[in-house]
Structure 1
Amino acid sequence: MAYEVTKDLETGNTLIDSEHRQLFQAINNLLDACSQGKGRAQIQSTIQFLNSYVGKHFSDEERLQVESKYPDYPAHKRFHEGYKQKMAQVTNELAANGVNISSVGKVNEAAGILVTHIRTEDKRLAQHVKSAK
């Protein structure tokens, strides 16, 4: 299953949407490599990218929240911190155990959490940022 930023996931904020696309592309690249038996070769670069890019993306979102005085900033930040920990666990497991059914399932689970977050919280954030201008 490929992940993509569909209309229902677009926030309307150019920065947020472009970063979501890059995150999904990295996840898709890893899953594609796994399905072709090349996951082990792709793991390390994808792990490094995902962990650094999730941090960058969340920092960008949090900056927008602070600048626009987003009222749900504390809860959104808590989600970000928890998600970074989840990604670290998933990527550590991939690095330690390699690609297997369990690790691919955990990558998909982490992507699913991100999709749900985008569909609800990030869309709400983008609407607030737009109305705050």
Structure 2
Amino acid sequence: MKKIHWDEGLSIGDPGLDGEHRQLISLLNRLIDLIDEAPDAEQVHRILDELEQLATAHSRHEEMLSATAGEDFKEEQRREHSDFLSAIIEARSQLRSDDLGGSLIDVTESLVKLLINHIIDQDLDLAPLLAEREVKNHSLAEFLVLKFQKLSFVRGLEMLVVISLLPMLIFAGMIMYQSWQEA
């Protein structure tokens, strides 16, 4: 079975979540490594334990970050997290001691499919929500620049000129108003 390689196209823009995805993939790759070796049931169960702990923490983290999403999105996300955790728990019962290598292949393929589908179908939809939240944490000028970047390049340049001229115009207006009062 081939290993999973992280691609930046799977990145959702949150370093914490992307790091957790990389760790989940790394744990699945460790299971794939065991397939090629003579797998030991104890090693497999240790990796599944780590996978379950990380998936639980990741689910909480992701659900916390998606608090501003719509109910349908949050419900779908909860369902996918629950399915992945259930698959990890079921994996223990699906491992057969008489054919540990063969059953490990089936279990690992199932877990890989669930994780990759979750990242592609659900988490990439979370990226715009995180970007909006990120914008709210920045200054007004950064907010405007990010909004204008969504416009065409020429329109964006025009807006950047307006943004840079706006403080100068306000300052000139204040000077003119003060001079008018003194006159």
In the alignment, structure 2 segments of 5+ residues that lack a partner are: 135-183
Runs of 4+ in 1 over 4 A off after TM superposition: none
Partner of 1:63: 64
Q: Is the 8 A contact 2:10 2:119 kept in 1?
A: yes
Q: Residue 61 of structure 1: CA displacement?
A: 0.4
Specify the SS of the correspondent of 1:100: helix
1:62-85: per-residue Cα shift (whole Å, max 9, x none)?
11112xx11111221122112211
Instruction: Provide the C-alpha distance between the structure 2 equivalents of 1:40 and 1:11, rounded to a whole number of angstroms.
Output: 34
RMSD of equivalent CA atoms? 1.6
**Runs of 5+ consecutive residues of structure 1 not aligned to the other structure:** none
Aligned to 1:4: 5
Equivalent position of 2:91 in the other structure: 90
CA displacement at 1:41 relative to structure 2: 4.6
C-alpha separation in 2, matches of 1:27 and 1:41? 16
In structure 2, the partner of 1:131 is: 132
Structure scoring higher RCO (CA < 8 A, sep ≥ 6) equals: 1
Identity of aligned residues (%): 21
Letter in 2 for 1:59: R
Change (3 A) 1:124 1:23: same
State whether residues 31 and 47 of structure 2, in contact with CA within 8 Å, keep that contact through their aligned partners in structure 1: yes
| 1:9 Cα offset (Å) | 1.4
CA distance, structure 1, for counterparts of residue 83 and residue 45 of structure 2: 22
Q: Which has the larger radius of gyration?
A: 2
Q: TM-score, normalised by structure 1?
A: 0.87
Residue 75 of structure 2 corresponds to residue 74 of structure 1: yes
- How far apart are the structure 2 equivalents of 1:7 and 1:22? 14
Report if aligned partners of 2:39, 2:101 keep a CA contact under 8 Å in 1.
Answer: no
Q: Supply the distance in 1 between the matched residues of 2:33 and 2:45 (Cα, whole angstroms).
A: 15
Question: What is the number of residues matched between the two proteins?
Answer: 129
Match of 1:22 in 2: 23
Partner of 1:110: 111
